[in-house]
Amino acid sequence: MPRLVMKFGGTSVANVDRIKNVARHVKREVEAGYQVAVVVSAMSGKTNELVGWCKEGDAFYDLAEYDTVVASGEQVTSGLLAIVLNQMGIKARSWQGWQIPLITDSAHSVARIADIPSANLDAAFANGEVAVISGFQGVDRETNRITTLGRGGSDTSAVAIAAAIKAERCDIYTDVDGVYTTDPRIVPKAKRLDKVGFEEMLEMASLGSKVLQVRSVELSMVHGVRTYVRSSFDDPENPQLGTLICDEEEIVEKQVVTGIAFSKDEAQVSVRAVADKPGVAAAIFGPLADANINVDMIVQNVSSDGATTDITFTCPGAELDRARKVLSEAKDSIGYKALETASDVVKVSCIGVGMRSHAGVAAKAFKALSEKGINIRAITTSEIKFSVLIDAAYTELAARTLHSLYGLDKAA
């Protein structure tokens, strides 16, 4: 029998009524002849509550104990869904990460999956059971302690399990009915995409699209797991297929630009008047790397005399205070004159595999933004995307301008 993984996020399992709705979706697939594994998140808001309790206990809590606490949210959901399925006449049992086992490394709170033996799930399927699995969690192979995969980790759990059990596909159910050309709350003309390539989805997820966790898309691409983004709020008897995340070869019509993403959690840091000599960049970015602060866009401007340079970069807004502290402590070794920061910025990105074969794609955007009076602070590019850093006040105008510029208002 073919196998299917279904993943349901926090809003989809926010209360018992919604869990009953989820059960009807599962029942439909079981009756269609699938052996089903269901991966569930904690109820909406529950993980935040559990994190808050940890902070109340100790602001500098032990990460291993933190994992023990926050993993309990998914345990509740998996047990409740199994109860409801059994009541509906669908044989089911709940599974925790350590019972599968979903084996991880020892990086508590941000663990990475090392292995998922399929024997236990194979036995459950052979017994005619639906496996209801607590997402977001695993077990450290060395210490046998509970680990968690980071926020949004249930998506990663689902794709990894789909790969391990050789599922036909992985359906990610959420509160939207697919992947859109951009955020429809910002651009009302945004269209739902029928298909998106793995590479494009990876860029979109990493650049601000909140539909899928980045690591889940990486796993989908590496293991070739065909993944659908679907809405759990569709009628279980007549659901829509949503958006398929798949290999680029499955997409016949490739647009130059597939989507517009934007990230508001950005900060700009400018290190002014440092000596223009070898080793300066290492002196700046080495300490930031040691502090695990991710740096994205980097721009270097050399002064007219060639003696000094300004280096500007972006980092996550939540890391701005730490970045400022790290650079202040390293001021003597870097030798800069001033440190300037800004948090009222946004990164807007255009993504599309069609850029590989079309010249001047970015130049069109720069001209269009200029005509709207939008100043570009920084630019970064790759083979299938380019990003610009602009003032946050122009987010909606920029997104709508670029969405229209590349014909996405008319996307099929």
Determine the pLDDT at residue 308.
Answer: 86
Burial 37-53 (b: 16+ CB within 10 A, else e): bbbbbbbbebbeebbee
Q: What is the pTM of this model?
A: 0.84
**Spatial distance between the Cα atoms of 316 and 266, rounded to a whole number of angstroms:** 5
Residues tagged in the binding site annotation for ATP: 7-10, 174-175, 180, 185, 210-211
pLDDT for 178-219, tens place per residue? Answer: 999 999 888 999 999 999 999 999 998 888 777 888 889 999
Structure-model confidence comparison of residues 248 and 349, the more confident one? 349
**Spatial distance between the Cα atoms of 23 and 82, rounded to a whole number of angstroms:** 9
The one-letter amino acid at 264: K
> Is a pLDDT exceeding 80 seen at residue 254?
no
Residues tagged in the binding site annotation: 7-10, 47, 74, 174-175, 180, 185, 210-211
> Is a pLDDT exceeding 70 seen at residue 49?
yes
The average confidence (pLDDT) of the chain is: 93
Structure-model confidence comparison of residues 133 and 353, the more confident one? 133
Determine the pLDDT at residue 253.
Answer: 66
Could you give the 3-state DSSP secondary structure of residue 212? Answer: coil
CB 119 within 8 A of CB 106: no
CB 342 within 8 A of CB 268: yes
- Residue 16: which H helix or E strand, with range? helix 16-31
> Is a pLDDT exceeding 60 seen at residue 11?
yes
Structure-model confidence comparison of residues 309 and 22, the more confident one? 22
Sign of CA dihedral 69, 74, 77, 81: negative
Looking at the chain, the whole-number percentage of residues with pLDDT higher than 70 is 98
> Is a pLDDT exceeding 60 seen at residue 412?
no
Determine the pLDDT at residue 386.
Answer: 93
**Cβ neighbours of 204 (radius 10 Å):** 30
Edge to edge, the sheet with strand 338-351 lists 298-302, 308-316, 259-275, 338-351, 385-391, 378-382
pLDDT, average across residues 151-171: 95
Helices (H) and strands (E) counted in the chain, each on its own, are 13, 18
- Residue 53: which H helix or E strand, with range? helix 46-57
**Spatial distance between the Cα atoms of 412 and 403, rounded to a whole number of angstroms:** 14
Could you give the angle at the alpha carbon of 163 between the alpha carbons of 158 and 168, nearest 5°?
Answer: 90
**Spatial distance between the Cα atoms of 257 and 275, rounded to a whole number of angstroms:** 40
CB 257 within 8 A of CB 403: no
> Is a pLDDT exceeding 90 seen at residue 45?
yes
Could you give the 3-state DSSP secondary structure of residue 142? Answer: coil
Determine the pLDDT at residue 357.
Answer: 80
Residues tagged in the binding site annotation for substrate: 47, 74
pLDDT for 60-103, tens place per residue? Answer: 899 999 999 999 999 999 999 999 999 999 999 999 999 999 99
Question: Which domains can be identified in the chain, with CATH numbers?
Answer: 3-251 (3.40.1160.10), 260-410 (3.30.2130.10)
- Cis status of the peptide bond prior to 236, with omega within 30 of 0: no
pLDDT, average across residues 160-164: 97
Largest CA distance in the chain: 79
